[in-house]
Structure 1
Amino acid sequence: MVLIAVITAIALMSVIRGLDGGVKILSEINMVLALLLLLFILVVGPTGDIFATAFSGAAAYAQHIVPLSMPFGREDINFSQGWTAFYWAWWISWSPFVGMFIARVSKGRTIREFVICVILVPTVLSVLWMAAFGGTAISQVIADASAPITSAAQELKLFQMVSGFPFASLLSLIGIVLVLAFFVTSSDSGSLVIDTITAGGKENAPVAQRIFWCSFEGLIAIVLLLVGGSEALNALQAMAVSTGLPFTMVLLAMCVSLLIGLRKAYAELQAQTV
């Protein structure tokens, strides 16, 4: 509960300062810390194994993405339902918030810049991040099957992994700050989107309205934690995931609409140049 209150308080200060004065600054700090931690692991960790994991993992992903995305003819049906389908629905349910926020911060950018900065760069960084931390952990287990990381609790594995590195305490501190910062940036950006929606599309809604929505989000989380604990949070999560199917239909319609709009804009541009 204390953690929720701290996250809400920091997100509240960010929301009050606005997109440029709060959210942007926190996001930049977040990315700098994440890149520093990534570079440290790449240099100090098993560099060769990390890059081997990155290339082999990316190749395997590209090779198997289609069959692994299908629920038919699979023996690992539990994995398909618990991970593949769950995360597709989870991210699709997030799409209205994430899409509106990205659209707002991308205003004035070209389509090429948008594709590079929103799709290509995050994909490459995600592959490197997974390869760096996943490859390092796998190397530790291969070197010692009884390594402490194998028996550590799920939420402590990162700290156990970096415990053998130089500056382990500093790395653990950066990890804690990063987790906190990721929660905060998700909260404040979501609050801004809700604020924009309830203000009828206005980007500069009254500050009091921003404070209300950010505080209300934190209050809901605290109430759910106190009333039902993890079961209530799981129920809320399941409800959010259930919205994935209707939003999928909306996203498909928007994809078709975007294609039509781009073709129309291209035809108009061609007509002007003739």
Structure 2
Amino acid sequence: MASNPSTGSSDAPAFKPSVFFGAIAVIGLFILAAFANPDLAAERFGAVQSVATHSFGWLLILTVNILLVACIFLAVTRTGELRLGGKDAKPQYSRATWFAMLFSAGMGIGLMFYGVAEPVMHFSNPPASAFSNPNASLPRGLAGNAQHAMGLVFLHWGLHAWAIYALIGLGLAYVAFNRGLNLSIGSFLSACFPKIPSWLVDVIDILAIVATVCGVAASLGFGASQVNAGLDLLAGVPENGLSKAIIIAIITAMATLSVALGLDTGIKRLSEINMGLAVALMIAVFVLGPTVFLLDAFVQNIGYYVQRFVYLSTWTETYNRGDWQTNWTIFYWAWWISWSPFVGIFIARISYGRTVREFLGGVLFVPVLFTFVWMTIFGDSALYIELFGHGGLSAAVNDSMPDALFAFFAHYPFAEFLSGLAILIVTTFFVTSADSGALVTAMIASGGHHHAGFVPRVTWAIAIGILAGTLLWAGGLTALQTAAIVTGLPFALVLLAMAWGLIRMLYCDVNRKIN
């Protein structure tokens, strides 16, 4: 049974009180706890993050690897020929628009925040492991440290991250467009596991909303910190909690307007604009920086990633019992998982008419390739300054990660212009992340309706902004990381169940020759 992307199931409720109010209650508790005692909240955020990452890091590593294998399996087998919406379905958006929308929703703010900061941090503070250089303490580091740093960056931003999005997005799109069900995780689980209790479906939908709101709020917190750092540099705006709160309030208002306009008018146009600006900034850094070095580095980085792929993907820091991985790899996997309900539903919503193979190939490889180009241009340009230039970025990044990008631009001509453009890009990514997250959250709370009402969309946009500001005020970046990890951990189990259910469903339809 095929379904048009503009419609949901006609008999589904437009409002699901148990899910809406349950999610509001959980998020409200987060906010009240932070407001009641910020110092105690900050202390407990750190303690919870430590317990979660040390006790369950293995689960996150296992989960992301299983999801990647499942995606590749579905793409290369007969299931890849199935089409979302049926054999006669036509894509709703062009490929260029499709890529821009899914990428802007998926990783925009993160690339701006970590593009310079993460490679330099790994270069100056490498993990104590078998692939870390023993001479890392030298003032300028060694070439090996730079290569290891980029390998870790590619691991964190590569195929594993997008496999999480691809798996959940494919499952939701298939039940919505081929089975005529609502676009929700609850609908998918009910279709794959008919005996699942309705109360458990509601609990999972609540968890999906909380994960989405916390994951997006974490990204908005990073974005607000970076915008504040840039405004401090260009206009003397002080870097403090009040400034970040004002920034979040202004951009949340912009996101609320965008989400009120809807998918095609607001989110689509903003996605196309911020991708264009981001590409322009990337080209400027490429041309003004060490161009030949970057071309060489891209080829070598890809080779290193492929050669060390299995080892890096399954490394758990078992034998040296350090804390490096809990602060980086485990956080990333939890962050991506916490974003997965949001990004998965969003890319499902915009992927009508694609074949399973086209969907998985597009979601897995096109954004990953762009991400690798981005990280090479910004990351290796920063490492070039450390290895062969004036240096000083390591100290700047270790002092303040939000300031990293602007400290990097200080080594380039037109530094103020580039910094101003970066602030604009972070702002537009900020808006698209917030409005896309609000749209998807409203869809989940309405039982999976493709067109959630105006009031729910605006409500969730405001809630995301309030939570981001509250977490920043109560515990800073640690609180943002903790919120992503705590919500990502339980949702990993949901994703594993979805992977198993999706494989069974697609193979059943292939064998019955249903499309």
The sequence identity of aligned pairs, in percent, is 42
Match of 1:98 in 2: 343
Aligned to 1:142: 387
Q: Distance in 2 between matches of 1:142 and 1:76?
A: 30
Q: Which position in structure 1 is the counterpart of 2:294? A: 50
Equivalent residues of 2:434, 2:461 under 8 A apart: yes
Contact 2:472–2:479 (Cα < 8 Å) also in 1 = no
Amino acid at match of 2:467: I
Q: Alignment partner for residue 208 of structure 1, among 435, 444, 455?
A: 455
How many pairs align?
267
Letter in 1 for 2:403: L
Residue in structure 1 matched with residue 509 of structure 2 by the alignment: 265
Find the aligned partners of 2:444 and 2:253 in 1 and give their Cα distance. Answer: 22
Residue matched to 1:159: 406
Match status 1:39 vs 2:283:
yes
More displaced stretch, 61-70 vs 245-254: 61-70
Q: Are 1:79 and 2:318 counterparts? A: no
The AA in structure 1 aligned to 2:383 is: I
Once residues 270 and 319 of structure 2 are traced to their aligned partners in structure 1, the CA distance between those partners, rounded to angstroms, is: 43
Q: Deviations over 1:102-140 (max 9, x none)?
A: 111112222233123311111111111111011111111
C-alpha deviation, 1:224, in angstroms: 4.1
Stretches of structure 1 lacking an aligned partner (at least 5 in a row): none
CA distance in 2, matches of 1:70, 1:151: 28
Scaled by the length of structure 1, what TM-score is found?
0.88
Q: Are residue 64 (structure 1) and residue 301 (structure 2) matched?
A: no
> What is the SS of the residue equivalent to 1:40?
helix
For 1:234 and 1:162, how far apart are their aligned partners in 2? 26
Q: Distance in 2 between matches of 1:116 and 1:259?
A: 17
Partner letter of residue 305 of structure 2?
Y
Return 5+ residue gaps in structure 2 as ranges. Answer: 1-244
Counterpart residue type for residue 296 of structure 2: A
Q: Is the 8 A contact 1:187 1:214 kept in 2?
A: yes
**For residue 141 of structure 1, what is the amino acid of its counterpart?**
E
Q: Please, which of 370, 377, 382 is the counterpart of residue 125 of structure 1?
A: 370
Distance change >3 Å, CA 224–CA 253, structure 1 → 2: closer
Tell me the secondary structure at the aligned position of residue 212 of structure 1.
helix
Q: What do residues 131-187 of structure 1 show as CA deviations (whole Å, max 9, x unaligned)?
A: 10111111112223x534343343222223223434332211111111122222111
Secondary structure at the residue paired with 2:328? Answer: helix
2:272 counterpart of 1:28: yes
Kindly state the Cα deviation for residue 265 of structure 1 after the two structures are TM-superposed.
Answer: 2.8
User: How many angstroms does 1:74 deviate by?
Assistant: 4.1
The RMSD of aligned alpha carbons is 2.2
